Structure 1
Amino acid sequence: MSSIHFFEKGSGQPVVLIHGFCEIGAMWEDFAQELSKDFRVLCPDLPGFGKTPLQKDHITLEEVAVLLEEWLEENSVENPILIGHSLGGYVSLAMLELMGSRLKGIGLFHSTAFADDEEKKAMRNRTIQFLKKFGAEKFVNSFVPPLFSEKHRIEFASEIEKATEQAGQSSLEGLIAFSEAMRDRKDRFEVLKNFHGPKLMIAGTEDGAVKIEASRQQKEAFTDYVELVGTGHMGMIEDKEKTFEIVRDFCTRI
């Protein structure tokens, strides 16, 4: 039996919303509520986040993909549409490589098919060192606010507080394990290009975690590509109504 904790709403075509690093499935509550009017929406906690335990100290994205594939089978989820935020996008791409045409479509929400470059790998290593030295709570409090565009941080102060509270449900072991997994992940741009189903990318022009230049380099691989002007890494909060309509339209057309 899978140890993946999740919640689901609605019925019909399955849509799986996969959260990012320092997040939990509950981040999608508003999206799930709206999408559930037309779809069966499932929102898992990745291992080491929320209520899903991390079974070992190290994990690869390929192993996460296998765990989620088993979880989908256990819950009779066939031909799902995957929408992944940041780390959730990396997981979705690993699942795409594993499941191929058994996926109905895929969406990257502030994410990338490229591997980390050397600068990003060095940043991951610094994150790991910080976590080992200072622990999860201090890291979470410093990590979450910069995910939002600087101009939005006062406007979305309560949302930032809620995101920080949810991030506090990340285990130290999970944060370290996924920092390593993200650092070491492979480039899956060709996997993405070779998938002939519908593909969505939502990018933020002020995203500090996934630079807009990198998103634009991948534009050709997607059937649907949208830029959110002035938005940081948290478009589902910073531009909730627009991003919801984008995702709903994408899923409806599939």
Structure 2
Amino acid sequence: MTAPAPLPTEATATVGGRRANYRETGSGSPVLLLHGIGRSLHDWDDQHRLLSSEHRVISLDLAGFGDSDPLPRTHTLDSLAAFCSAFLDALGIDSVDVVGNSLGGAVAMALAVRDPGRVRHLVLINSAGFGSTVTSALRAIAVPVVGRVLLRPSEKTARQTERALFRDRSFVSEERIARSLRRGSRRGAMRAFREVAHDLGTIRGIRPAWRARLTSAVAASRTPVLVLWGDRDLILPAEHLREAQRLLPDATTHLFAETGHMPHLERADEVAALILPFLADRAGDR
């Protein structure tokens, strides 16, 4: 099997005096890819290869994650959306399609609400924002003292985290485990993780107030939305897709069989095959 061609080296932009790490491929209308909590832009490598034939594809390390500098203030859903908005300003991008996984989906929605008219289409992959249930580990991390203990970087924790994300364990590679360990060991990474987890949830689950506010605003905006989910997600269970269908009745949805929290990796070709025609359908634009 031929190895995929290497992607371009990551680049940096200055956002609020701090480094924002990103990767860019292709040309055409821009698409911004946003990762989940504790993750990085590397989760989007396959989608760069699949989407860049038709789009300018930009994956971004959210502030405090990957190789982007942490914020000087608290990391919250709103502060991460503001970071993304400032990042797009730094690149001179006025209008964009946004694809987000997990936390990145919630940030994508918050960006669309924050900057009305800037986000043309939303693609939400196993996205936070549609239900209260979440894995017990993330509920515990929202508790300040407990979170500090659980987030201490170790190979065991990194391996357990990767195993929880994928239905197909062949994706739990030594490279991914090592990368997870490096991410967790970066200065500021634990703080960003704890602060976001506390902002979005408690020991009881994901807070209802921000979910109701955000989803109602997205529904009212009439931004075209595609929601994708894996039926074997251990982080945000597939029942959240039914809630997404209720809250966003105009959204297009798809459920992948035998798939975990990251369909854009486990079902990369199928995900791209759904995203590309969805983004090409300008008839649904406002």
> Taking structure 1 as the reference length, what is the TM-score of the superposition?
0.88
Per-residue CA deviations over 1:24-63 (Å, capped at 9, x if unaligned) read: 0122112112211111111110112111111347311111
d(CA) in 2 for partners of 1:233 and 1:197? 24
Identity of aligned residues (%): 22
Paired position in structure 2 for 1:249: 277
Give matches, 1:14-33, under 5 Å.
14-33=30-49
94, 100, 124: which is aligned to 2:138? 124
Q: Which shifted more, 60-69 or 119-128? A: 119-128
State the one-letter code of the partner of 2:197. Answer: S
Q: Pick from 204, 212, 216: which aligns with 2:238?
A: 212
Cross-structure match for 1:76: 92
Of residues 209, 232, 238, the one that matches 2:266 is 238
1:144 is paired with a residue whose SS is helix
Cα distance in 2, alignment partners of residues 38 and 120 from structure 1: 35
Equivalent residue letter for 1:71:
F
TM-score, normalised with respect to structure 2: 0.79
How far did residue 103 of structure 1 move? Answer: 1.0
Is 1:176 the counterpart of 2:200? The answer is: no
Find the residue that maps to 1:136 and give its secondary structure: coil
Match of 2:253 in 1: 225
Aligned equivalents of 1:60 and 1:112: distance in 2? 13
Tell me, in whole angstroms, the C-alpha distance in 2 between the residues paired with 1:186 and 1:195: 16
**Distance in 2 separating the partners of 1:251 and 1:164:** 33
Matched, 1:197 2:223: yes
Aligned length: 247
Amino acid at match of 1:206: R
Q: Does 1:108 align with 2:134?
A: no
Query: Where is the helix percentage greater, Structure 1 or Structure 2?
Result: 1
After the TM superposition, which residues 17-166 of structure 1 pair with which residues of structure 2 at under 5 Å, given as runs? Answer: 17-56=33-72, 58-114=74-130, 117=132, 120=134, 123-128=137-142, 129-134=145-150, 135-137=152-154, 138-149=156-167, 152-153=168-169, 155-158=170-173, 161-166=174-179
Name the stretch that deviates more: 95-104 or 127-136. Answer: 127-136
Whichever residue aligns with residue 124 of structure 1, its letter is L
Shift of 1:123: 4.9
- The Cα of 1:130 is off from its aligned counterpart by 4.6
- Residue 74 of structure 2 contacts residue 195 of structure 2 at CA under 8 Å; is this kept in 1? yes
Structure 1: gaps (5+ residues): none
Q: Are residues 1:186 and 2:191 paired?
A: no
Distance (Å, rounded) in 1 between the aligned partners of 2:148 and 2:63: 19
Amino acid at match of 1:144: E
Deviation of 1:241 after TM superposition, in Å, equals 1.4
CA separation of 1:47 and 1:76: change in aligned 2, threshold 3 A: same
C-alpha deviations, 1:202-248, integer Å up to 9, x for none? 01111122221221122151431111012111111221211121122
The structure carrying a bigger strand percent of its residues is 2
Moved over 6 A (4+): none
Gaps of 5+ in 2: 1-13, 202-206
Q: Kindly indicate whether the alpha-carbon contact (under 8 Å) linking 2:126 and 2:228 is maintained by their aligned counterparts in 1.
A: yes
Using a 3 Å threshold, how does the CA distance of structure 1 residues 56 and 122 change in structure 2: closer, same or farther?
farther
